Amino acid sequence: MGFNALLVSDDVNHSAELKSGLIFAGAHNVTVVGMDESWTELLSADTYDLLVLECHQVSEGMLNTLADLNENPAIPVICFTSERDSKVIKQSVKSGVMAFVVGDKNQNRMKPIVDVALARFSEQRALKKELSQLKDKLANRAMIEKAKGLLMQTRGISEDEAYHEIRRHAMNQGKRLSEVAETFCSTLNGETQREGSLFTDKPIAEVQQNPIFD
């Protein structure tokens, strides 16, 4: 599968070899810009699939920029450099560099380097998504537990009854348990319940079918 690459170099006059290697590796298009240009703005257009850095040394400013790019917008990064400092290499990887290549720009090695970088990035993005979903799930559970506690306290009902109350409203409104729980928490905490509102003291309904789970 082809890709579009942004090649940022500290010496654009000597980037032909690396550009040729990227095309050999499958790049449809390689845009070459200088390190001193506003290249980070080009990434905001979401046009590129790969960021390639070509620099003699990796500066602290570059590491900070890479760390920001690792969050927004996230993009796989390959760094070709003469830098051999192990500390800088570790910092680069921590900042989101998927492949750190010292010296070698051999065209025949370019495709496996690119493939590994893209694969690592895809795996990392999947792990981040999974972690984010897990955090959301835990937050939703915490919200439901909080709502149950408030209902038990204000209504004088049991934990099971509080849960069924939340679930009943979720089914009636076609919403997730966590969404209804959040509304319960906001209403009960703010002491803004009014007669005839969503959370009137109706009998607890036992739900027999189609339960909604988060």
- Tens digits of residue pLDDT in 81-116: 887 888 888 888 888 889 889 877 888 889 999 999
Q: Which residue has the tokens 């919403």?
A: 175
Q: Identify whether residues 97 and 137 lie together within a single domain.
A: no
Q: In CATH, what number is assigned to the domain containing residue 9?
A: 3.40.50.2300
Burial 150-182 (b: 16+ CB within 10 A, else e): bbbebeebeeebbbbbbbbbbbeeeeebbbbbb
- Report the C-alpha gap between 30 and 32 in whole angstroms: 6
Question: Does the residue 114 lie in any domain?
Answer: no
- Tens digits of residue pLDDT in 9-19: 998 988 999 99
Q: Is 124 left (phi over 0), alpha (psi -120 to 50) or beta?
A: alpha
Q: In CATH, what number is assigned to the domain containing residue 167?
A: 1.10.10.10
Question: Does the residue 48 lie in any domain?
Answer: yes
- Report the C-alpha gap between 204 and 80 in whole angstroms: 66
- Do the Cβ atoms of 140 and 178 come closer than 8 Å? yes
**For the whole model, what pTM was predicted?**
0.64
- Report the C-alpha gap between 200 and 198 in whole angstroms: 6
